[in-house]
Amino acid sequence: MAKRIAIVEDDPDQRANYTDAITKKGYQVDAYGSRDEALTGFEASLPDLVILDIILGEEVDGGFQLCRDLLARAPSLPVIFLTERIDEIDKISGLRLGAWDYLPKPISLDYLAERISSLLRINEFREEQDQNESPTAKKIGDLTLDQDALLASWKGQRIDLSGTEFRMLAKLVRQPGHAVSYETLMNATMQSLVTNNTINTHMRNIRKKFEKIDPDFAAIKSEYGFGYRWSD
């Protein structure tokens, strides 16, 4: 069965272009022009992945609100922000909400389709591996990392990290006890124009996800002015 992709975009021309391009890749697409339309559609059933603009009509942060509602209902749902708002504060806000990716407009439709395919593959592999630990999974104390599924678990409980968060965590724990620089962590994000503040936001998100299942979690240490360190 074809995967269902939801697009929430208030510009009708852009919405039509995205819908046409993604449909041609074999996906089923549900397109919405406002937050209210999308909420009504999501009440019936949730898609496999959601693409959100931030500004939806008169709601300048409508996409952020919708992302918050969606992830409260389905924490592991892949969400992509696709927006003209590329200021760092907006990107940080999207990441804090738990988005898997943050893409700037204009964008190549082929590249967008590839990002969708990549995130769906990761999520599908995670679901397959959720009940059965991969034989290639790496253990670092109470932490288990499955590189194939970009899946982490702490004390046997799954941690839903985005792809970027997982890559940063994997880089951090490669040498436990050793400080990892901001520059190294920036490279792990595989994104352009990443600042220290963006890295700090990612790390806060990662910590919160661990603390949600283990309030005493304290393995990620900040190295002031340099980066971070994983400490057992």
pTM metric for this prediction? 0.69
Topology given in CATH for the domain delimited by 4-125 = Rossmann fold (3.40.50)
Answer positive or negative: Cα dihedral of 104, 122, 49, 66.
negative
Model pLDDT for residues 161-208, shown as the tens digit of each residue: 887 888 899 999 998 999 999 999 988 876 666 788 889 988 998 999
Domain 133-230 has CATH 1.20.272.10: no
pLDDT tens-digit map of 73-111: 888 899 999 999 888 788 778 877 888 888 889 899 999
Show me where the domains of the chain are located: 4-125, 133-230
Q: What is the pLDDT of residues 47-63, one digit of tens each?
A: 999 999 999 999 999 99
* CA geometry: angle 92, 228, 88, nearest 5 deg: 15
**Is residue 122 very low, low, confident or very high in pLDDT (cuts 50, 70, 90)?**
confident
